[in-house]
Amino acid sequence: MTPPVGPVLLAGAGVTAAIVALLLSVAATHLARARRQARDERRKREMTPLVHALLDDDPTDAVPVPDLVNAPGSLDEVVLELLPQLRGTDREILRRLLAERGVVARAVADLTARKSWRRGRAVALLGSAAGSHHIAVLAARLQDRSLEVRCAAARALGKAGDPAAVAYLLPAMSGARALPHGVVGMALLDLGTTALAVLRGALTGEHTHARGLIAELLGVHGDVEAAPLLEELLRNADEPSAVRVAAAAALGRIGSPRSTEPLVRALTTDDDPVLQRTSAEALGRVGDPVAAIPLLAGMAAPDVSVRSACADALAGLGAEGRTWLEEVAAGSGQAAGAARATLDDLDARPRRPALAVVR
């Protein structure tokens, strides 16, 4: 039986009206959001010159700097965006401004908020805006029940720039709520060279689980003062293999010829292929000709990656190393194959054009 036409039309009209109302509601929401964003951007543009005027304040200037303590909330966004780009006195001026406006106090209060997103937002803000006296309260969040908050706290400690944060970050790498090593590593790297002395002290300290990461960071910084400590780690056969590998790689980055002896010893006497390969690569970076004979011997190693690393390290010694490679390549066996592969790679590299001599 065919249903009456009237009710069907009414039902269709109702559905259409609902769809139109929904579309109008979505459009109104988007319009309101666009207006809010435009208003916020306008307010930030109005606040930006005031912040610059505060940083450029000259006591002899006849024009006084406006009082920003009671300025609109958009000022905070301008300051927080600008803070990571600043150092020294300018950074401290803006930190003090945020403290006077109550931004820092509100963030500290939010560190114990029930919602994890509020705690995470608070530690991120404090990483830029807080001073060294807030290191302890930030460090407490390294044991937060939320992994996201713990990671945010580690990043905030790195951005805070206080070497005292090292004492909190290293223990956070172990335990039931351990942080990923990569997160801690980036935080320690953000601390910069001011943390090198603390890291050197921690290299032989109680945090044995962190020695590999510490060695890697000292190498990234090229810390010459750490070379003797790293050499001792490399020599110590009781250290975990991963730590000795990290020490060898760090010595290669530092590049001191004094490190040739322990690197050669690791290459020629240890039976761990990873440590042998890393030591050979480090010797190539150091570039000490004294390592030529041990590297030649290493080209007979059973592991193909060790043979290849020794050949590449020889190539790094310059013309003398290439001569050795050509002699080995003329023979037979696995060492000859590694030498030929390295020579082929050298020949395939584009050569820089010779500079014209002006007479």
CATH number at 284 reads 1.25.10.10
* Rounded distance between C-alpha atoms, residue 54 and residue 65, angstroms: 6
| C-beta of residue 83 within 8 angstroms of C-beta of residue 94 | yes
CB atoms closer than 10 angstroms to residue 208 = 12
Tell whether 322 is covered by a domain: yes
The H or E element spanning position 41 is helix 5-55
Tell whether 282 is covered by a domain: yes
Tell whether 167 is covered by a domain: no
Tell whether 21 is covered by a domain: no
Regarding pTM above 0.85, the answer is no
CB atoms closer than 10 angstroms to residue 164 = 15
* Rounded distance between C-alpha atoms, residue 57 and residue 25, angstroms: 48
| C-beta of residue 96 within 8 angstroms of C-beta of residue 131 | no
| C-beta of residue 279 within 8 angstroms of C-beta of residue 263 | yes
Tell whether 55 is covered by a domain: no
Tell whether 254 is covered by a domain: no
* Rounded distance between C-alpha atoms, residue 157 and residue 97, angstroms: 20
Helices (H) and strands (E) in the chain, counts: 19, 0
Tell whether 307 is covered by a domain: yes
Number of domains in the chain: 1
| Residue 359 DSSP one-character state | -
* Rounded distance between C-alpha atoms, residue 47 and residue 76, angstroms: 9
| pLDDT per residue rounded down to tens, the chain (359 residues) | 555 656 666 667 777 777 877 777 777 777 667 776 665 566 556 567 777 667 776 554 544 556 677 777 777 788 777 777 777 788 788 888 888 888 888 888 999 999 999 999 999 888 888 767 789 999 999 999 999 999 999 999 998 888 999 999 999 999 899 999 999 999 999 999 999 999 999 998 888 889 999 999 999 999 999 999 999 999 999 999 999 999 999 999 999 999 999 999 999 999 999 999 999 999 999 999 999 999 999 998 999 999 999 999 999 888 888 888 888 888 888 888 888 888 888 777 766 554 444 44
Tell whether 177 is covered by a domain: no
Q: What residues make up the domain containing 321?
A: 259-346
